[in-house]
Structure formats: C-alpha cells, structure tokens
Structure 1
C-alpha cells in the first residue's frame, strides 16, 4: 500500500494541531468559515441549477453538483476545517500515536462548534438579505421536498 498519502494525512493533522495550540480562536474561526463556504456553495448550486430547471433542462442537477464543488475548493484553498474531515485526520493521527486522544476530542468539539456557528451566521445573513423571498428560490424547497419524499418512500 502507498504510504505517502497517509503521511500527508499525518502532516496535515499535525499542521492543524499547531494552529489549534497557537490559537483556539483562530482554529474556531477556520471552522466557522468552512461551514459558511458550504452554505455559499449550496446557494450558488441551487441558484445556478434553477436557471436550467426553469427550462426543464436535464442539466439542472449536474450543474448544481458541479457548482457545489466550488465550496469544497474554497475550503481546501482557504484552509478551513470541516468536522467530518477532521474526524479522519485526527483519528488516524491519534491511532498512529502522534496525538493524544483527549486533545483530539477537544479539537473535534471545537470544530463542531465552529461549524455550527458558521452555519447559523450564514443562515442569518441569507435571511437578512431576503434571498428566500425571491420566487426563483422555490426550486430549492421543491428539491428538498423531493429528496425528503424519496427518503420516506425508501423506508
């Protein structure tokens, strides 16, 4: 098995650990920004998907998926921290014995709180802009209802 990617996981986890140890506030801010980037990506994906959905184009969903990738790129290049990514990075590094588990749990908790704060701040920002008062945004709720119905029917 190739070890280089796993060494990169350890390297990135230790790099994130350094940021956490230097300033918990800075680490919390990075986590907050990550969920705001995700929120931005979702808004852009739904708005761009709606443009194609209005014409009943089969490209509506693929375009929405492609534009959502912008959020992931913002997180990667912006140095932000998502909770699920940190689960992997820090669990692997702790299993390898490079980080102690109590510190890993504190990092996870800080990341989770930061992601929640960012989501709440972004939701408030979007609410205050009045974006959801636009009739074209009805496509978002239609998509959400369709997905919810598919989940319910699968049970």
Structure 2
C-alpha cells in the first residue's frame, strides 16, 4: 500500500512530464519509512530526490551497487515481458530483495503476523503527563 501511495504522489511527474516512446518506463525515487515493533511499515514521506551525495568512498561504492542491481532487475523484467515469460522468480537481483509480489510477502525469521498488535506509539518524556498518540497508517 505504501508503494501505491508513493506512485500516486509522483504520478504527474512520472507519467506526464515526458512523452514515453517505450511501453515500459521507470523512475527512481526515495521514501522514508518507519518499521515498528510489530514489523509493520509506516510510510512517512515520498521524495523525488534521493540524496545521492558522494562525499565518501563508501557512498560511491553503495550507489554503484544500488544502480547496477537496479538496472539488472529492470533489464531482466523487460526481457521476460518481451518473451511473455513470468517475471518471478528473478535471477539477477544484485543486492535487492523482493519484499512483496502479487500477494506474497517476505517472511521475517522469528516473526508471526497477527491482528493483535502493539502499534507504533509516541510517548512524551517522563515528567510530563503521560501522552500517547497513534500514527495514522496511509
């Protein structure tokens, strides 16, 4: 759902700014998420710019790995579509992992999904009146 919200947030920029001549196109965006104690992901903020500063060698290496793997995934998907082959299971994923695909979800070792969850709560520092606020899921 969070990725769908992000797609919606950037649809004008992604799909109407340029006239695409290819059947497929992709964009590279960033997003802030929070993972709570229940392993639920909370979508915080979409970003059109990804903060790709390269002030340090470790960042240059990380970005190189990130982009190389991303291009490998996009290329494999395009080739599979051209042959009318199923897209999953991807063979060339670089450092990427599939976390959600058509209803399938990644299983975290030692974690069971449940309806009764603690949730993501914010508390005021001790000394102030106890206050809790539940974050709204988007």
The TM-score by the shorter chain falls in which range? under 0.3
Structure with more of its chain in helix, by fraction: 1
Give the TM-score taking structure 1 as reference length.
Answer: 0.24
Query: TM-score scaled by structure 2?
Result: 0.27
The structure where strand makes up a greater share of residues is 2
